[in-house]
Chains A and B, each alone.
Chain A
Amino acid sequence: MNVADSLPEARRKAVALISGGLDSMLAARTILDQGVHVEGINFFTGFCVEGHTHAIRRRANGSGGNPRNNALWVAEQLDVKLHFIDVVEDYKRVVLNPKHGYGANLNPCLDCKSFMVGRAREWMEEHGFDFIITGEVIGQRPKSQRRDTMPVVARESGADDRLLRPLCAKRLPPTLPEREGWVDRGRLHDFTGRSRKPQFALAADFGIEDYAQPAGGCCFLTDRQYSTKLADLWASRGRRDYELDDIMLLKVGRHLRPRPHFKLIVGREEGENHFLSGYRGQFVHLRTVSHPGPLVLMDGEPNEEDLELAARLTARFSKGREAERVEVEIGGGGRPSRRLQVAPMAPSAVPSDWYV
């Protein structure tokens, strides 16, 4: 039993999983309005869509949209503290060996939810909080938010009945916070299904006009193209593993694999080129010098023939793509940089299956 349970007069404290989307914002606001002290936590897995690629490209584009981190923005709107938790290392076991398998892509949604609620439970116990709230809605997500999988999350996370889902609580058995009267079940909600209308209506009731969309779209692992690149990474290395830099680089540039033993990552504009330039020390890299063009990283063990092919592909993506010859500088790989004069590869000569 939590020590605070014996203090009926104490103001109860809830930790809210804040993704930055509308549902977790509404769930937290619903509980805040009942006088509960709420603080937010946000998990950094490395696969978060939040900010990354947008941030890379924004500066070069001039504006590029709103630069805010949505979880921080939500916390500011709610006036609650937000604690970021770096789970990159621990999250690997979720991605690499999901007990409940993957969704449509490499998204281990049910294992992910159990993992995050489990980490929230640990945080709750460590900081003397009473219960956990999430923005889950029955039937909203095909794997992790179903009536039959919601108890799985509560059980496997160890949160059990200290896990309250305010947006659909009335459709679930009463949890400890409801039974103990820490929150009024009558003021919770009964949302269900994939329709977002009830959320939009509740947002309007709260006077919330600005929020990130869509809910659930905050993870690259739900993206087919990203999952294809991750599977390609594992296949090329002959093992299922990754480091943070690997999964960050999968978010940036065009990826081409002309040969099984090497891949090219081609910057698509100035912001990406700048980001990729930070990795020059770790990769063989190419850049056109006779014409403006992309920075290209080579991931793998290229031989001389591969380097010429990579130079011709680098030229193909440069402003010199129509020129007869383009000069390309090759650096890294433990050798002095050198320059090659190459004929740009014609777009039609690049097989479509080279694009990962």
Chain B
Amino acid sequence: MARSTLDARRLLCPLPVIRTQERVKGLDPGDILEVTCTDPGALHDIPAWCRLNGHRVTGATDGADYELVITIVVGGDMMADPEPSS
């Protein structure tokens, strides 16, 4: 299980989500990614994107100087469904 960080400060919605999506593609299930953002919308958008794509948000802290840190545990289903169940 690897731990990594992503600096998404100064990026505005939906760029923090897009950068998170790009980074998660290169990670393995169970890996942890900490995303630092300054757009308050990310506090809503990144968890929503994680819910839709099978990842888990384990923490979100609202820090000083507009900074937010969102912790994500990568799930096992990162790509488009190859064989959706009927």
Interface size on A, residues (CB 8 A): 37
Q: Mark B22-36, 1 if CB is under 8 A from A, else 0.
A: 100000000000000
Tell me the bound Cα distance from A81 to B41 in angstroms.
19
Question: Which of A54-62, A301-309, A310-318 participates in binding chain B?
Answer: A54-62
B21 contacts A83, C-beta separation under 8 Å: yes
Interface presence of A274 (CB below 8 A): yes
Q: Mark B55-75, 1 if CB is under 8 A from A, else 0.
A: 000000000001000000000
Q: Which of B14, B39, B53, B66 contacts A71 (CB 8 A)?
A: B14
Within 206-234 of A, Cβ neighbours of B (below 8 Å) are at none
Interface presence of A72 (CB below 8 A): yes
Q: Which of A42, A50, A129, A278 contacts B10 (CB 8 A)?
A: A278
A68 contacts B52, C-beta separation under 8 Å: no
A52 contacts B44, C-beta separation under 8 Å: no
A55 contacts B40, C-beta separation under 8 Å: yes
Interface presence of A198 (CB below 8 A): no
Q: State the main secondary structure of chain B at its contact with A.
A: loop
Report the minimum CB–CB distance from A66 to chain B (whole Å).
Answer: 9
B15 contacts A72, C-beta separation under 8 Å: no
Q: Which residues from chain B contact A73 at a C-beta distance below 8 Å?
A: 48
Interface presence of A75 (CB below 8 A): yes
B52 contacts A44, C-beta separation under 8 Å: no
Q: State the main secondary structure of chain A at its contact with B.
A: mixed
Q: Which residues from chain A contact B14 at a C-beta distance below 8 Å?
A: 42, 44, 48, 50-51, 69, 71-72, 84
Q: Which residues from chain B contact A42 at a C-beta distance below 8 Å?
A: 14
Within 1-17 of B, Cβ neighbours of A (below 8 Å) are at 9-10, 12-15, 17
Given A44-B18, A50-B13, A84-B18, are A72 and B48 also a contact pair (CB < 8 Å)? yes
Report the minimum CB–CB distance from B74 to chain A (whole Å).
Answer: 15
Given A84-B18, A129-B80, are A55 and B49 also a contact pair (CB < 8 Å)? no
Best-buried of B15, B38, B53 by chain A (most CB within 10 Å)? B15
Tell me the bound Cα distance from A127 to B79 in angstroms.
9
A274 contacts B80, C-beta separation under 8 Å: no
Interface presence of A111 (CB below 8 A): no
A-B contact pairs, 30 of them (CB 8 A): A13-B84, A39-B81, A42-B14, A50-B13, A50-B14, A51-B14, A51-B39, A51-B45, A52-B12, A55-B13, A55-B40, A58-B40, A59-B66, A68-B45, A69-B17, A72-B14, A72-B17, A73-B48, A75-B52, A76-B48, A80-B52, A81-B80, A83-B21, A83-B80, A84-B14, A84-B17, A84-B18, A275-B12, A278-B9, A278-B38
6 smallest beta-carbon distances between A and B, as pairs: A51-B13, A37-B84, A278-B10, A127-B80, A72-B48, A55-B41
Sample of 19 more A-B contacts, CB < 8 Å, known A51-B13, A83-B21: A35-B86, A48-B14, A51-B12, A52-B12, A59-B66, A67-B41, A69-B13, A69-B41, A69-B48, A71-B14, A72-B14, A72-B52, A75-B48, A76-B48, A81-B80, A82-B49, A82-B52, A83-B80, A278-B9
Which residues of A come within 8 Å of B, CB atoms? Answer: 11, 13, 35, 37, 39, 42, 44, 48, 50-52, 54-56, 58-59, 67-69, 71-73, 75-76, 80-84, 86, 127-129, 248, 274-275, 278
